[in-house]
Amino acid sequence: MNFTGMSATEKQILIFSFYRDAELRGARLLFNLLGHMKDGESQLKMTAHLADETRHAYLWTKRIADLGGAPVLIDDGYQRRLGLRTGVPKTIIDLLALTVVVEERAQSRYNAHIALPNVDPETMEVLKSVMKDEPWHLSWIEKEMHEIAREQGNEEQADRALARYRTIDREVYATLAADEAELMRS
């Protein structure tokens, strides 16, 4: 990507648009999971998690609007690239493992952003609001994945799926990292 000539505000809007896109695509993944996890407790947790993801997308959209902009449509972001590499998950274990990996990446990206110098207070507020949900998201999804795998008599399937998706995640994120680092420096 060429960021020459972009103002600091335009770069922020682009970064936040990537975050927004990831949250919306994460919400779509969770929405798909709703049809596979039918028990009451899973439905309750999944719906709460889905509500968090859409609220996160709203917070990024609002932050973009507060900067005087509109979200940039992201057609080649992290989740899109990840999906092209992973293909369509075939099992509930794969869906849950992919969700864990996506949540881990979101947490990592937000932590890196929080650690930057000179993050404005409004952006820091959004980052902290989003980050407070991430530990629960990771915890319950990973626990659910291992529980289902155990019930199916194949806990190793969960570990293999996580390892596979983490490897793909690292490769995909590497394709975005240089551009993201350049954007963050402003």
- Whether the pLDDT of residue 180 is over 80: the answer is no
What does the alpha-carbon distance between residue 129 and residue 124 come to, in Å, rounded to a whole number? 8
Average pLDDT of every residue of the chain: 91
Fold annotation for 8-184? Ferritin (1.20.1260)
pLDDT at residue 29 in the model: 85
- Per domain, the residue ranges of the chain are 8-184
For residue 182, the model assigns a pLDDT of 67
Write down the pLDDT at residue 5: 85
> Is residue 54 pLDDT above 90, yes or no?
yes
Least confident of 46-50, 114-118, 177-181: 177-181
Task: Output the pLDDT for position 165.
Answer: 96
How many C-beta atoms surround the C-beta of residue 14 within 10 A? 20
Q: Between 98 and 76, whose confidence is greater? A: 98
pTM of the model: 0.89
At 184, give phi and psi (nearest 5°).
Answer: -70, -25
Does residue 96 register a pLDDT over 90? yes
**Per-residue H/E/C for 37-89:** CCCHHHHHHHHHHHHHHHHHHHHHHHHHHHCCCCCCCCCCCHHHHHHHHHCCC
For position 71, what pLDDT does the model report? Answer: 97
Q: What percent of the chain has pLDDT over 70?
A: 94
pLDDT of 18: 92
pLDDT of 167 higher than 80? yes
For position 135, what pLDDT does the model report? 93
The 3-state DSSP composition of the chain as helix, strand, coil percent (nearest 5) reads 80, 0, 20
Query: What was the pLDDT predicted at 176?
Result: 83
Mean pLDDT of the 173-184 span: 75
